Amino acid sequence: MKSIITVKNIKDYLTKNQIKYTYIGNDSIIINTFCSLYQLKDNSITWARKVSNVNFETLNEYDNIIIVLGEEVEEQKLNGFIVKNPHRTYFKILSYFFEEQPVIKIHPTAVVETNKIGKNLSIGANSFLGELVELGDNVRISNNVSIEGNVKIGDNTIIESGVVIGVSGFGHYKEDNSVSVRVPHLGGVIIGESVAIGANCTVARGCLGNTVLEDYVKIDNLCHIAHNVIIKTRTMITACTEISGSTTIEEDVWVGPASAINNGIIVGKNSFLGLGTVATKDVPAGKVVAGVPARVLRDNNE
């Protein structure tokens, strides 16, 4: 993290990353922190999705604020970058200038039984990796993570604290006396590149095949991914979601918080499941669905 950041520093970063911008205001401003639009600070950088969200009178009460906007503003005094996508650009700036990079090390309390590990790893305190686990390069594993069985994790993946990967799934058959007996789970888990798994999630291994999380999948905190689930690329699973066994979630799906998805169904690509959705049957591609049980509300045009 840099302690002093100039307008030129930000311009150089945007130019290097081929992000087109227009800068309006004072080039001599210096910032050293960041803030939200609703908790403004002196010497900071903030952003707004819409100009209509900005109270310029309040903004101008603070010294040396830079704002990232998606459209130009007439007849307003401000210091700001005008870009096509202010949300993305602002958080790229914060990641580059303010985010602390993880220390590349394996904590002395971590138990790492596997030798199939890539370069530049970070493994936190009290984490366990079994002998069959394979890790790619630049994988970051936080504290108290347990990964066991036949699990393969791709490059640049982040696994937050408390995650459990590779446990047996919840599959049973009944004996003649109606006693339930667990089905052996002989498969594994395959996790692609640049996946993020939030704190205290569980990902069960497959029964006969594998549970699969493809590249760029993002999973929020407190989610459960059951056995044989396939989640395809760029899908977003938000907090407290439960995905039952043998479900397939296709590309570019958004699953809203506290959703539940029944076993064995298909959630079509580019669909959007709203808050608390209970999906009991297949979700058509390209639709917004919500409710208990889920029903189609409209096309997903986002």
**Which residues form the catalytic set?**
227
Q: Which of 201, 200, 199 is nearest to 229 (CA)?
A: 201
Q: Which of 240, 236, 241, 186 is nearest to 213 (CA)?
A: 236
- CA angle (139, 220, 100) in 5-degree steps: 50
Residue 296: which residues within 8 A CB-CB, separation 6 or more?
A: 284, 287, 288, 289
Label residue 267 exposed, middle or buried (CB < 10 Å: 0-12, 13-18, 19+).
Answer: buried
Bridge-based pairing state of the strands 172-174 and 180-182: antiparallel
Alpha-carbon separation of residue 60 from 8, 55, 71, 121 (angstroms): 21, 9, 18, 45
Q: How far is Cα of residue 101 from the mean position of the Cα atoms in its chain? A: 17
Amino acid at 267: V
Task: Return the residue matching tokens 């506290």.
Answer: 258
First to last CA, the chain: 34
Task: Return the residue matching tokens 């704190």.
Answer: 199
Phi, psi torsion values for 278, nearest 5 degrees: -115, 105
- CA angle (191, 95, 196) in 5-degree steps: 15
